[in-house]
């Protein structure tokens, strides 16, 4: 009798749960994945104290410092009625078009309320926490649209949103770890293909998403559209049944792209008229390629297995922020199992070929195994000669491998199987999640950046006019000048900036000496000329400045003083215009 009562109560509870799920399904679909992913992101990357969001950086380095400057620039320029795109606050006198930097206008404007209410450091740190969440959330909705299953979609969303690619880029490349628009663009395309949205809404949504992605990352939108075109060609060739529908959809998507171009025309005009700021080759595609072993060997950013395979991963090409190819062996097995069991289906062939193509693309111009360039040429050699696209790095195409792997994982999980086989499938998928757990977060990751205190009131230490600038060393992409300018609330102009050197300075021997910390025979005359041209009021050398450069500056015999572990060289008055 008691057992019957218990069963009755269990059945009653199950009915109530099912009724609740049916009644509040939309709310569950909105909040459940968001809460799950947010909890995971806070566990993986969150600081020990909430106050750290305002005072510390997640993995501080020159990249996060400059992205903080960029996040601050957009609201600052609006509030002060400045030109949003061009500024002489960096590379004073010549100026710079910030659109040719990885400035992510969308993120800067999105986070403007936070930046204005708190500061740009908070905005940067919030993006670190929220980007994987929104990546996974966007992928979840795409996968749920394909499967109508919550649990597989949660798993697939995690694989994309918290992928090795995202984890590695979290070390500072804000424009590369905010990827939510990729799955959303595909979701809108599929919805239109299935006639679930009208042509009007398709044009509105697809053009809006293209605009947003363009304003986040020019590199991602370029590679994404390139691979989307390839995928469309494969679909057209393999699936004859829907060719007319595919052609119709392609035309509509071209139209949405034209709408996006019209809306973006002011941005594009500024970029085209200031093309001189674009670098001919930003980074080496050979150096920043995926090592073949990286697909199965974790780097130090993985919680499990990193120390075990450190002797191998330490030989990978590039740096750790560009070694995001770790798929894990279980995920590779899932891809192979799905392809093997479904190869007779045309869509499976397309997914398999696309995955293979992107894997080969990620390997770069030549094959690297265990840090050794085998000099075996690969298709990226061709891409390396295509304007604009050649600026992309092969290692960063792994984002699309994880995108396809997430889709394949869900399609594999929802296939009808015996209960025991289904359980094994989910265990294998969960092992992927476990192996992708990052080795980041906590006090080791969240560090304050020691900065000379006088920069908060630098006008009292080194007063400058609107026609004068400061030179802060070390110089260039590894320097801290832009961040110190941010600390000062942009109270001075900077003769420098991380990012990419304007072409007018690219061959300047003095600039190259600052970058490479090399000695110049005619340093005195070149530096004096440089100071005059750019009206540099003072040269500030941080404690990380090369002794070679310090020694060169000391030969000038200019007035200098020591303050907060820095050396300030005062420019003689005769070199400055009053």
Q: C-alpha angle 221/230/279, rounded to 5°?
A: 40
- The β-bridge relationship of strands 469-473 and 493-494 is parallel
> What was the pLDDT predicted at 150?
92
Q: Are 514 and 475 in contact (CB under 8 A)?
A: yes
- For every residue of 128-196, DSSP letters joined together read HHHHHHHHHHHHHHHHHHHH--HHHHHHHHHHHHT-HHHHHHTTT-HHHH--THHHHHHHHHHHHHTTS
* Assigned domain for 85 exists: no
Give the C-alpha separation, 339 to 167, whole Å: 27
φ/ψ bin of 67: left (φ > 0), alpha (ψ from -120 to 50), beta (otherwise)? alpha
* Assigned domain for 410 exists: no
Contacts 24+ apart (CB under 8 A), 188-194: 189/249, 189/253, 190/142, 190/145, 190/146, 191/145, 192/249, 192/252, 193/242, 193/245, 193/249
* Assigned domain for 36 exists: no
Place of tokens 């035309």: 251
First to last CA, the chain: 100
> What was the pLDDT predicted at 1?
47
* Assigned domain for 281 exists: no
User: Could you tell me the CA-to-CA distances from 206 to 179, 195, 250, 311, 318 in Å, in that order?
Assistant: 15, 14, 12, 45, 34
Per-residue pLDDT of the chain (578 residues; tens, 9 = 90+): 456 665 565 555 656 555 655 656 677 788 899 999 999 999 999 998 888 899 899 988 888 888 999 999 999 999 999 999 989 898 888 888 888 888 899 999 999 999 999 999 999 999 999 999 999 999 999 999 999 999 999 999 999 999 999 999 998 788 898 999 999 999 999 999 999 999 999 999 999 999 999 999 998 999 999 999 999 999 988 888 888 888 999 999 999 999 999 999 999 998 888 876 666 546 777 778 888 899 999 999 999 988 888 888 888 887 888 889 999 999 999 999 999 999 999 999 999 999 999 999 998 888 878 767 777 788 878 777 776 676 778 889 999 999 999 999 999 999 998 989 999 999 999 999 999 999 987 777 898 888 899 999 999 999 999 899 999 998 877 788 889 999 999 999 998 877 667 777 777 888 888 888 888 888 999 999 999 999 999 999 999 899 999 999 999 999 999 999 999 999 999 999 86
Give the C-alpha separation, 293 to 369, whole Å: 6
3-state secondary structure string, 500-545?
A: CCCHHHHCCHHHHHHHHCCCCCCHHHHHHHHHHHHCEEEEEECCCC
Helix 523-534, helix 509-516: angle, nearest 10: 100
> What was the pLDDT predicted at 97?
86
Give φ, ψ of 40 to 5 degrees.
-65, -45
- As a dihedral over the C-alpha atoms of residue 299, residue 35, residue 173, residue 492, rounded to 10 degrees, the angle is -140
* H or E element that contains 223: helix 218-238
Give the C-alpha separation, 297 to 547, whole Å: 39
Give the C-alpha separation, 198 to 191, whole Å: 9
Tokens found for residue 384: 């390396």
**Domain of 555, in residue numbers:** 453-575
* Assigned domain for 380 exists: no
Tell which residue, 150, 219, 152, has the closest CA to residue 182: 219
Residues 6+ apart with CB under 8 A from 532: 575
Give φ, ψ of 467 to 5 degrees.
-105, 15
* Assigned domain for 290 exists: no
Give the C-alpha separation, 327 to 308, whole Å: 17
Output helix, strand, coil percentages for the chain, rounded to the nearest 5: 60, 5, 30
**How many residues does this entry show for the chain?**
578
Helix (H, G, I), strand (E, B) or coil at 326: coil
Place of tokens 């690969």: 378
Q: C-alpha angle 556/558/559, rounded to 5°?
A: 160
Can you name the residues that pair with 102 across neighbouring β-strands? Answer: none
What's 376's DSSP letter?
E
User: Could you tell me the CA-to-CA distances from 375 to 367, 438, 551 in Å, in that order?
Assistant: 6, 32, 42
3-state secondary structure string, 4-53?
A: HHHHHHHHHHHHHHHHHHHHCHHHHHHHHHHHHHHHHHHHHHCCCCCCHH
Give the C-alpha separation, 60 to 494, whole Å: 21
What's 280's DSSP letter?
S
* Assigned domain for 550 exists: yes
Helix (H, G, I), strand (E, B) or coil at 263: helix
Number of domains in the chain: 1
What's 561's DSSP letter?
E
* Assigned domain for 553 exists: yes
């Amino acid at each position: 009798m008691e057992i019957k009562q218990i069963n009755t109560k269990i059945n009653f509870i199950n009915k109530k749960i099912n009724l609740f799920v049916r009644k509040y399904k939309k709310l569950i679909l909105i909040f459940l994945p968001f809460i799950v992913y947010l909890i995971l992101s806070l566990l993986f990357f969150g600081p020990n104290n909430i106050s750290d969001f305002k005072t510390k950086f997640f993995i501080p380095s020159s990249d996060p410092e400059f992205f903080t400057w960029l996040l601050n620039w957009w609201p600052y320029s609006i509030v002060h009625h400045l030109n949003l795109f061009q500024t002489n606050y960096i590379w004073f006198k010549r100026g710079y078009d910030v659109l040719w930097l990885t400035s992510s206008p969308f993120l800067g404007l999105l986070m403007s309320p936070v930046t204005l209410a708190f500061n740009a450091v908070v905005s940067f740190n919030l993006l670190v926490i929220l980007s994987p969440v929104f990546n996974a959330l966007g992928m979840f909705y795409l996968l749920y649209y394909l499967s109508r299953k919550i649990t597989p979609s949660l798993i697939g969303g995690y694989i994309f949103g918290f992928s090795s690619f995202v984890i590695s880029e979290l070390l500072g490349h804000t424009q590369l770890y905010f990827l939510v628009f990729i799955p959303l663009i595909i979701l809108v395309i599929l919805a239109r293909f299935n006639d679930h949205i009208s042509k009007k809404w398709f044009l509105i949504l697809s053009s809006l998403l293209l605009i947003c992605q363009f304003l986040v990352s020019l590199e991602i939108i370029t590679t994404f559209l390139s691979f989307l075109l390839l995928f469309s060609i494969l679909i057209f060739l393999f699936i004859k049944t829907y060719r007319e529908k595919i052609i119709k959809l392609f035309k509509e998507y071209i139209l949405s792209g034209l709408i996006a171009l019209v809306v973006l025309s002011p941005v594009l005009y500024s970029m085209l008229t200031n093309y001189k700021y674009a670098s001919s080759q930003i980074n080496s595609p050979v150096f920043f390629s995926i090592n073949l072993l990286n697909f199965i060997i974790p780097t130090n950013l993985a919680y499990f297995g990193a120390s075990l395979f450190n002797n191998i991963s330490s030989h990978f090409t590039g740096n750790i922020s560009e070694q995001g190819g770790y798929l894990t062996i279980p995920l590779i097995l899932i891809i192979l199992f799905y392809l093997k069991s479904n190869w007779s289906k045309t869509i499976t062939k397309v997914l398999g070929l696309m995955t293979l193509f992107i894997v080969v693309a990620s390997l770069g111009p030549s094959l690297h195994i265990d840090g050794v360039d085998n000099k075996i040429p690969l298709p990226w050699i061709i891409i390396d000669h295509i304007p604009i696209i050649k600026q992309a790095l092969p290692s960063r195409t792994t984002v699309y491998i994880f995108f396809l792997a997430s889709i394949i994982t869900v399609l594999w999980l929802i296939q009808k199987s015996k209960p025991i086989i289904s359980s094994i499938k989910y265990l294998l998928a969960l092992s992927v999640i476990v192996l992708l757990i990052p080795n980041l977060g906590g006090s080791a990751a969240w560090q304050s950046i020691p900065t000379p205190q006088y920069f908060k009131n630098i006008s009292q230490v080194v007063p400058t006019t609107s026609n004068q600038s400061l030179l802060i060393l070390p110089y260039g992409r590894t320097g801290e000048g832009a961040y110190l300018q941010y600390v000062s609330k942009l109270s001075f102009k900077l003769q420098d900036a991380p990012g990419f050197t304007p072409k007018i300075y690219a061959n300047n021997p003095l600039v190259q000496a600052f970058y490479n910390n090399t000695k110049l025979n005619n340093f005195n005359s070149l530096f004096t000329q440089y100071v005059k041209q750019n009206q540099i009021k003072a040269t500030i050398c941080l404690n990380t400045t090369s002794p070679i450069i310090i020694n060169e500056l000391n030969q000038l015999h200019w007035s200098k003083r020591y303050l907060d572990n820095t050396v300030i060289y005062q420019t003689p008055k005769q070199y400055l215009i009053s």
